[in-house]
Amino acid sequence: MSGMHLIAAALVIPLAGAALIAASGRWPNLREGVTLVTAVALLMAVASLVPSVMSGDRPALLVLEMLPGISIAFRVEPLGILFALVASALWIVNSIYSIGYMRGNREPHQTRFYACFALALAATMGIAMAGNLLTLFLFYEMLTLVTWPLVTHHGDAGARSGGRVYLGVLLATSMGLLLPAVVATWACAGSLEFVPGGILRGAGLSSAALAGLLALYIFGIGKAAVMPVHRWLPSAMVAPTPVSALLHAVAVVKAGVFTVVKVVVYVFGVEELSAAGAAGWLAPVAGFTIIAASVVALRADNLKRRLAYSTVSQLSYIVMAAALLAPLSIAAAALHIATHAIGKITLFFAAGAIYTASHKTEVSQLDGIGRSMPWTMAAFAIGALSLIGIPPAAGFLSKWLMFQGAAVRGEWIVFAVLAVSTLLNAGYFLPILHAAFLREPAPAEHPHGEAPVLMVVAMMTTAAATLALPFVVSVPLALARSAGGVLP
C-alpha cells in the first residue's frame, strides 16, 4: 500500500472500529475482540508508514478543500509518526488492560466506553498526521469532545463537575485563544501548511507580535497543560483508570505538547523565533509549571491526583525543551513524548490495578501493599524510576538529552530546573515505594490478592517496554533526531 492509503487506513480503521464496537455492543466478547483487532490493525498501518518516513519520504493525503486555500490534508513527518506509533502501540496494551479493569469493576456503559476510545484514537491519528494547522485544530477539538463521555463515564455529580472543568478549560482555551491564533496566522501568512522553517517566516511580524502570538498558541493549546491552564487534567481523573492511562497520560496530553512542538517548529520556525528572541518567556513559564506541579504532586494524597500533577510537570519538560530551540532539545522533547508515555501509562495501570484489587485510592493507604500485589508494585517501581530518570529505565534517555540541550545552549537556569525537579520527582515517588515494600500493612486490613490477570499482563508489558526501550531505541531516537534536526 502506498503512503496515501496507509494514512487513510490509519484514520479509517479506528472510525470503522468505533462503528463495529457500537454495533456489537450486545456481545461483550465480540466487542472486545473488535477493539483488539482494530488496535492491532491500526498499529500495523502506522508501523508500515515508519520505513518510508525514516527514509525521508513525506507521505501525504489531501481529503478536500474546506475553505478556499485551506484543505483538510495530512502529511506525515518524523515527529508525527513517532507520536502515532506510541499512541497506537499503547492502545493495544491499554485495551487488554481495559478489559480486565472494566469487567473487574463491573463498569456500566462499556460499549460507549470502547467506542469513544476508538474515536479518540482516530482523532489522535488525525492530530499526529495533520498536514496543516486547520486539520490539526479540527482533530484537536474532536479529541476534546469524544473524550468527554469517557471523563464523565460514571455520570454522577463528581463526573459532571469534573467533565465541566475538563470541557470548559479545554474549549475555552482552544476556542478563545487557539482559534484567534490560527486565524491570525492565516491573516498574516496566507497559508496554514506546515512547512520546515515555519509558516510565519518572512511574514514580517515584530518580535513583540511573535511573542504575543506564541503566547496565544501556548495557552491556547490547553492540552499541553502549561500553568495556569492545567486545571482540566486533575479534573479528568474522575474517569475510569484506563482512560486516565491512555488518554490523560498519552493521547490527549501528548497531543497537546505535540501541537506545541509542531507550532514552534513548523509555524514559527526555530530560526525565526530565536532570531526575534520571542520565545524567551516560554522556558521560565514552563519551568515554573514543572516545579509548581511537582510541589502539588508532593502534597497530593490521592494517587491518581499525584500522577496527574506529575503529568502536568512532565509535559512542561517537553514545552521547556522545545522552547530552548536547539536541535538537541527538540529531539529530547520528541523522545520524551515517547518515554514519558510508556512510563506514565505503567504508573496509571498500577493505580488502576490497586483500585480494582483493593479499592484503595490514597497514597496513605498503601502501606505494605507490595506484599499482596508484588507484580503491580514492581511495575509501579519501574515506571517511577523511569519518570525520575534513573537508568536503565527509558525516562533517563530523554532527560539526558534535555540536560545536554540545556548545557549546549548555556541555559543554566533550565539546567537547574531539571535538576531540582528530578529531586522532586524522587520526592513524590520514592515514599510510595517505601510504603509499599518496607512498611507493615495496617492490622485491620481486608486480605486481597493481585489484580485480574489481564491487567497484570498489560502492566508487565509496558514495564518491560520501559526497561527495553533504551536497548531498542534506534527507531524512536532516529525519528526524534530527525524531528530535532528540523527536517522537512
User: Which spans of this chain sit near another protein (rule: CB under 8 A)?
Assistant: 64-68, 72, 134, 137-138, 141-142, 145, 149, 152, 155, 159-160, 163-164, 167-168, 171-172, 175-176, 179-180, 183-184, 186-187
By three-state DSSP, how is residue 473 classified? coil
Cis omega (within 30 of 0) for bond into 392:
yes
Cβ nearer to another protein, comparing 173 with 289: 173
CB 42 within 8 A of CB 13: yes
Instruction: Report the amino acid identity of residue 119.
Output: L
Cβ nearer to another protein, comparing 184 with 473: 184
Alpha-carbon distance of 373 to 357, in angstroms, equals 9
Q: How far is CA 345 from the centre of its chain?
A: 10
Helix axes 303-323 and 252-262, enclosed angle (nearest 10)? 10
In the complex, least distance from residue 192 CB atom to another protein, rounded to whole angstroms: 11
Supply 14's cell numbers.
479506528
In the complex, least distance from residue 153 CB atom to another protein, rounded to whole angstroms: 10
In the complex, least distance from residue 222 CB atom to another protein, rounded to whole angstroms: 13
Cβ nearer to another protein, comparing 41 with 142: 142
Q: What is the DSSP secondary structure assignment for residue 203, as one 8-state letter?
A: S
Cβ nearer to another protein, comparing 50 with 181: 181
In the complex, least distance from residue 112 CB atom to another protein, rounded to whole angstroms: 10
Q: What is the DSSP secondary structure assignment for residue 266, as one 8-state letter?
A: I
In the complex, least distance from residue 259 CB atom to another protein, rounded to whole angstroms: 14
In the complex, least distance from residue 290 CB atom to another protein, rounded to whole angstroms: 29
CB 38 within 8 A of CB 30: no
| Environment class of 131 (CB within 10 Å of its CB; exposed 0-12, middle 13-18, buried 19+) | buried
Q: What are phi and psi of 133, to 5 degrees?
A: -65, -35
Supply 444's cell numbers.
485491620
In the complex, least distance from residue 134 CB atom to another protein, rounded to whole angstroms: 7
Tell which residue, 140, 2, 130, has the closest CA to residue 70. Answer: 130
Cβ nearer to another protein, comparing 44 with 70: 70
Tell which residue, 342, 272, 315, 317, has the closest CA to residue 486. Answer: 272
In the complex, least distance from residue 168 CB atom to another protein, rounded to whole angstroms: 8
Cβ nearer to another protein, comparing 152 with 358: 152
Considering just the CA atoms, what is the radius of gyration of the chain in Å? 21
Cβ nearer to another protein, comparing 22 with 47: 22
Cβ nearer to another protein, comparing 68 with 443: 68
